[in-house]
């Protein structure tokens, strides 16, 4: 995502750090050292006004997911925030993936659910709808 | 060189529209007329203007229309926007204004208003009543540059022409940068992003409009009423 657009989302939320999910891909993104220079002309102004806006440092953190991994391995992910220091760490947890995959198959769910869990990413061509494209 | 006229906020005023058409005839090279919404409003009987927009008089510059905030409110209150019921105009202007808006537009014109698009993309320009976020998004020269850059980025255009604020301005993003550092399970990556040279242009409303020359990227702010006064006084 465009860095300025990402910063705008955090600013619109009115926070210093925006935690999100949805993509199942854990990351910590720090946006810093930003500025925007503008030249403004309005009706009635004799000369354009030039200004520089200093942008605040902000963070976007995606917690990843504990199921349906899409970050390239089979581990469950989450993040831990230390509210005192502000440190954020991505945690990865191993578990018995084979057992969970077998449970998916035993429950009669589509094979692709187990395949996805075992490989850590969504393989669109293996989905039942071959026209499905996974966008992220 | 080919030029565009960008107009908004006629609000049903057919006399103003005739005056604008006369004014545009005096402007050299204006090949396209874009009406960026608020064709209707609560203060006039809008039917004559709507008829003329649909069936231009001989010699009129052909208008290319999109819908604006007032059209959106009317269409919402008439069931064209699903569950929305024009709460915004009721809160902002009161029930009386809202009733007058409905009385000023014949039901036969609703399908035409409902067929209008949200905006146009012409060359690398976005033409929208509000912004890429909402028809009611009011952008002006005091809006945060970060927010303006976001509105430009969402549309992926170099210039965004907007009308909702009724202001005439050009805000050019002329420089800047930001550092984006991403940490994930594969490591850490840092990237510098620079601000693209892009502009947001407020076209004004009513008799105040904008002429844009895509070939030279030149914007000029016009006032049909001022141009008319100058003509009478022999300035042009």
What confidence tens digit (pLDDT) does each residue in B29-88 have? Answer: 999 999 999 999 999 999 999 999 999 999 999 999 999 999 999 999 888 887 777 677
Q: Say whether pLDDT at A133 is over 70.
A: no
pLDDT tens string A105-127: 999 999 888 888 888 876 554 44
- Cβ contact B183–A43 (<8 Å): no
Whose CA is closest to B122, among B87, B155, B147?
B155
For residue B231, pLDDT over 70 is answered with no
CA torsion, ordered B189, B195, B197, B200, to nearest 10 deg: 130
| DSSP structure class, residue B117 | B
Q: Say if the Cβ atoms of A41 and B169 lie within 8 Å.
A: yes
The domain segmentation of chain A, as residue ranges, is: 3-94, 96-136
Taking contacts as CB-CB distances below 8 angstroms, the residues of chain A near B207 are: none
Chain A residues near residue B177 by CB distance under 8 angstroms: 33-35
The CATH number of the structural domain formed by A3-94 is 3.60.21.10
Residues facing B183 on adjacent strands: A28, B188
Q: Which residues of A touch B (CB under 8 A)?
A: 2-8, 11-12, 25-43, 50, 52-53, 55, 71-73, 77, 90, 92
- Cα separation, B118 vs B28, whole angstroms: 29
Which chain A residues touch B174 with a CB distance below 8 Å? 37-39, 50
Tell me the chain A residues in contact with residue B221 when contact means C-beta distances shorter than 8 Å.
43
Quote the crossing angle between the two packed helices A3-13 and B145-155, to the nearest 10°: 120
Nearest to A4 by CA among B189, B133, B196: B196
H or E element in which residue B113 lies: helix B110-115
Report the distance separating Cα A106 and Cα A103, nearest Å: 5
ipTM of the complex: 0.84
Partner A contacted by B204 (CB < 8 A): yes
DSSP class per residue in A17-66: EEEE-SS---EEEEEEEEEEEEEEEETT-SS-EEEEEEPPPEEEEE---S
Rounded CA separation B97/B89 (Å): 8
Determine the average pLDDT of the residues in A66-76.
83
Q: What is the pLDDT of residue A136?
A: 36
- The pLDDT score that the predictor gives to residue B235 is 41
Reduce the DSSP state of residue B125 to 3 states and report it.
strand
Q: What is the mean pLDDT of chain B?
A: 91
Q: Each residue of B103-119: pLDDT tens digit?
A: 999 999 999 999 999 99
Grade residue B93 by pLDDT with cuts at 50, 70 and 90: confident
CA distance A81 to B69: 43
* CB-nearest partner of B177 from A26, A34, A41: A34
- Right CATH number for B3-233 from 3.60.21.10, 2.60.40.1220, 2.60.120.260, 2.120.10.70? 3.60.21.10
Q: Considering only the beta carbons, identify the residue of B145, B175, B183 that sits closest to A27.
A: B183
């Amino acid at each position: 995502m465009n860095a300025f657009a990402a910063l705008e989302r955090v600013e619109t939320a009115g926070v210093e750090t925006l935690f999100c999910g949805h993509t199942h891909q854990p990351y910590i993104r720090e946006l810093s050292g930003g500025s925007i220079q503008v030249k403004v002309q309005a009706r009635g102004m004799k000369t354009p006004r030039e200004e520089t806006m200093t942008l605040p440092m902000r963070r976007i953190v995606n917690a990843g997911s504990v199921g349906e991994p899409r970050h390239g391995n089979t581990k469950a992910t989450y993040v831990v925030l230390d509210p005192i220091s502000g440190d954020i760490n991505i945690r990865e947890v191993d578990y018995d993936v084979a057992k969970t995959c077998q449970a998916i198959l035993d429950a009669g769910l589509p094979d692709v659910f187990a395949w996805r869990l075992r490989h850590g990413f969504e393989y669109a061509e293996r989905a039942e709808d071959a026209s499905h494209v996974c966008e992220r | 060189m080919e030029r565009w006229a960008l107009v908004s906020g006629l609000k049903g005023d057919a006399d103003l529209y005739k005056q604008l058409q006369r004014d545009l005839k005096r402007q050299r090279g204006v090949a396209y007329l874009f009406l960026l919404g608020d064709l209707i409003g609560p203060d006039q009987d809008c039917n004559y203007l709507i008829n003329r927009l649909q069936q231009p008089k001989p010699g009129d510059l052909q208008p290319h229309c999109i819908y604006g905030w007032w059209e959106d409110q009317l269409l919402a209150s008439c069931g064209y926007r699903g569950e929305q019921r024009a709460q915004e105009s009721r809160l902002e202007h009161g029930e009386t204004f809202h009733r007058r808006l409905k009385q000023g537009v014949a039901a036969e014109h609703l399908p035409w208003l409902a067929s209008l698009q949200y905006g146009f993309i012409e060359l690398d320009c976005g033409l929208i009543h509000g912004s890429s976020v909402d028809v009611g998004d009011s952008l002006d020269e005091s809006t945060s540059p970060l927010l303006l850059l976001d509105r430009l980025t969402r549309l992926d255009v170099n210039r965004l022409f907007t009308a909702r604020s009724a202001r005439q301005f050009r805000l050019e993003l002329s420089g800047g940068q930001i550092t984006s550092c991403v940490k994930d399970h594969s490591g850490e990556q840092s990237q510098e992003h620079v601000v693209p040279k892009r502009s947001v242009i407020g076209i004004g409303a009513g008799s105040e409009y904008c002429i844009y020359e895509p070939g030279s990227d030149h914007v000029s702010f016009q006032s049909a009423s001022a141009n008319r006064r100058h003509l009478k006084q022999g300035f042009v």
